[in-house]
């Protein structure tokens, strides 16, 4: 959530900050603000709305070569000018931008109010500015350390102080911060997207770490608490900057009307990237060296638990089905946000899999840490190299999806499925999966990129169906067994970007209650693969059609829908996808649902990349 940028160097800071914020707007777009430090002291400009609104209203005289900026996803208090970051103390000597949530903010606000401090906002962040200003420590670093020692919760912060005009200070605990190293200038951001135009030499801060940043470089410290005094101690660390292999053009939408459309069409190439070098046709297995597990350790796994949030959770359900079918290991997926709060039993022979596009999803990161505290082994399916989860886990599979900017996940989700498929084949081959079945599935995986391209080639036909669905205020998505997680993900996409109420159910569960809601105004998108359940699925569609419910059926060529496809029979749209192996079909059935959601949102005139109330990387609980 939210985006942080910072700059110190030889150029005017404000234009660089505004450009960086525009590149981070997918992380929060309720309000935005910047603070610059120049010869006239600290200047702050902020307002509700988009970054362009901030830029349009920026004073002409807003000079300074040191600055910080923020684009907000609201947590404490509504989206208005007062609650926008940066926040300052009463004298406007300190400016703070903050991602995360301070859990004890209410108590700290009450304490400050009792001391006569007039708080100007509803936010938790403002307390940090006042705590830093009230510190009597000699250095800015120690003042910030003292303030952070008072707070409970998560944070990624950047601080500018008029009394220390040669530096910025940043700190991290649970919310990402990256330092970018330039030529006589330094950058700060919560996401690489804001840095890559200026530098690809970066350092990722760890939790509990602080950094002093000057135009000539940076110094890092760990924040430790002295038990005897309760004071926070700064201890030097040896954080080094490293070159990252990334193309700045990957963060540009190019000729596409949105990042989501660009990312939809990138899926065939990115699917090839995640499979490349990881398929062993000779032995019919996957080759996933990053797991850091040998064949004996793989054979010792007795259960798999998958942890993710949102789309990562739904693709985790697809992965659990793959693991049970191919490796014959009990597997299930659970929302990471709930996992650690139910005091889970962590077993030594269970493999835990954390799934996150950003690698910074706080609920998933905290679940990983809970497993590790109890002695469990965790691997990650993560897209961002150097992210918090990638550094925390014991091994994993990088997704190689490339930067994903749109809030609604497409190419990363597809690559998550493919990673699960390779994991399931590799686990299966050290158990009971035959070499013939292994080779069958490896051959199926190699066909996926081309078949995804075939689905995307039908975009114009899918757009026609999407316009019909966009007219409905409420929709059902249904599927069975392998098809149910597909239905859940399809409903998620519609909710995210079209703002239509969409619910997913197992097809067999409709008759146990939800069928009461079927009417001509409520279309159903049905997932009907040509598998062992096709006859039962078609029978359930007759139950919907008998009650006047319009049907859009995502299926395979040759599946006989009978009377349903006759005029007035119920089917208002049929979408055929290419066949693969039955175990791998779910991802091909998912692709048209992504396109349907995109075109429904386009038809309704929504901001597809920045859906209301949502942000790309969820770094607050």
- Distance separating alpha carbons of residues 517 and 248, to the nearest angstrom: 48
DSSP reduced 3-state for 441: helix
Active site residue 46: no
Angle between helices 435-456 and 411-429 (to 10 degrees): 170
- Terminal-residue alpha carbon distance, the chain: 10
Q: How far apart are CA 556 and CA 373, in angstroms?
A: 46
User: Which of 124, 132, 65 is closest to 93 using CA atoms?
Assistant: 132
User: Of 434, 178, 430, nearest to 329 (Cα)?
Assistant: 430
Residues in a beta bridge with 202: 180, 242
Q: Examine the residue annotation and report whether 2 is marked as an active-site residue of this protein.
A: yes
What letter would DSSP give residue 184? S
Indicate which residue of 305, 493, 610, 616 is catalytic.
Answer: 616
3-state DSSP assignment of residue 488: helix
Dihedral (CA of 16, 20, 25, 29) sign: negative
Active-site residue (options: 2, 262, 305, 495) = 2
Give residue for tokens 């700059």. 7
Measured CA to CA, the distance from residue 271 to residue 267 in angstroms comes to: 6
Identify the CA nearest to 52 among candidates 87, 96, 22. Answer: 22
For the chain, percent helix, then strand, then coil, each to nearest 5?
A: 40, 25, 40
| Residues designated as active site | 2, 616
């Amino acid at each position: 959530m939210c985006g942080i940028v910072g700059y110190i160097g030889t150029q005017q800071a404000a234009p660089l900050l505004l450009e960086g914020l525009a590149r981070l707007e997918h992380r929060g777009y309720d309000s935005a603000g910047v603070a610059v430090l120049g010869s006239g002291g600290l200047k702050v400009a902020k307002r509700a709305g988009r970054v362009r609104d901030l830029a349009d209203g920026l004073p002409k005289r807003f000079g300074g070569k040191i600055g910080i900026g923020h684009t907000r996803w609201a947590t404490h208090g509504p989206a208005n000018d007062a609650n926008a970051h940066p926040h300052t103390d009463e004298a406007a000597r300190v400016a703070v931008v903050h991602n995360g949530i301070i859990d004890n903010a209410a108590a700290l606000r009450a304490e400050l109010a009792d001391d006569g401090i007039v708080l100007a906002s509803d936010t938790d962040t403002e307390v940090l500015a006042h705590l830093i200003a009230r510190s009597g420590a000699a250095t800015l670093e120690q003042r910030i350390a003292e303030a952070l020692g008072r707070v409970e919760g998560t944070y990624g912060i950047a601080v500018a102080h008029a009394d220390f005009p040669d530096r910025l200070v940043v700190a991290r605990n649970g919310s990402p911060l990256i330092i970018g190293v330039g030529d006589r200038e330094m950058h700060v951001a919560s996401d690489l997207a804001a840095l890559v135009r200026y530098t690809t030499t970066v350092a990722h801060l760890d939790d509990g770490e602080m950094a002093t940043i000057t135009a000539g470089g940076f110094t890092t410290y760990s924040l430790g608490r002295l038990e005897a005094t309760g004071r926070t101690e700064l201890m030097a660390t040896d954080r080094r900057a490293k070159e990252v292999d990334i193309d700045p053009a990957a963060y540009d939408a190019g000729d596409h009307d949105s990042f989501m459309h660009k990312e939809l069409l990138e899926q065939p190439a990115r699917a090839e990237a995640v499979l490349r070098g990881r398929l062993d046709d000779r032995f019919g297995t996957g080759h996933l060296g990053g797991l850091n597990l040998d064949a004996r350790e793989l054979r010792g796994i007795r259960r798999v638990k998958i942890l993710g949030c949102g789309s990562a959770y739904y693709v985790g359900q697809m992965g659990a089905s793959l693991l049970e079918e191919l490796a014959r290991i009990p597997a299930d997926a659970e929302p990471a946000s709930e996992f650690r709060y139910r005091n889970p039993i962590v077993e030594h022979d269970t493999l835990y899999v954390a799934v996150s596009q950003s690698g910074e999803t706080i609920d998933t990161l905290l679940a990983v840490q809970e497993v590790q505290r109890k002695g469990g082994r965790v691997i990650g399916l993560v897209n961002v190299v150097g992210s918090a989860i990638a550094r925390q886990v014991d091994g994993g599979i990088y997704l190689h999806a490339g930067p994903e900017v749109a809030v609604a996940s497409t190419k990363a989700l597809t690559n998550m499925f493919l990673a699960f498929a390779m994991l399931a084949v590799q686990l299966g081959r050290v158990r009971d999966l035959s070499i013939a079945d292994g080779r069958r599935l490896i051959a199926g995986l190699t066909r996926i990129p081309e078949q995804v391209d075939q689905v995307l080639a039908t975009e114009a036909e899918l757009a026609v169906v999407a316009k019909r669905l966009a007219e409905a205020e409420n929709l059902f998505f249904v599927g069975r067994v392998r098809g149910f997680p597909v239905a859940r993900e399809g409903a998620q996409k519609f909710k995210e970007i079209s703002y239509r109420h969409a619910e997913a159910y197992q097809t067999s569960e409709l008759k146990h209650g939800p069928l009461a809601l079927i009417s001509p105004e409520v279309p159903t998108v049905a997932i009907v693969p040509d598998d062992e359940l096709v006859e039962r699925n078609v029978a359930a569609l007759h139950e919907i059609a008998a009650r006047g419910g319009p049907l859009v059926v995502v299926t395979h060529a040759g599946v006989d829908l009978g009377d349903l496809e006759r005029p007035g029979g119920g089917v208002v749209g049929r979408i055929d996808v290419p066949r693969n192996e039955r175990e791998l079909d779910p991802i091909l059935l998912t692709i048209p649902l992504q396109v349907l959601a995109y075109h429904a949102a386009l038809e309704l005139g929504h901001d597809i990349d920045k859906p209301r109330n949502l942000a790309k990387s969820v770094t607050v609980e």
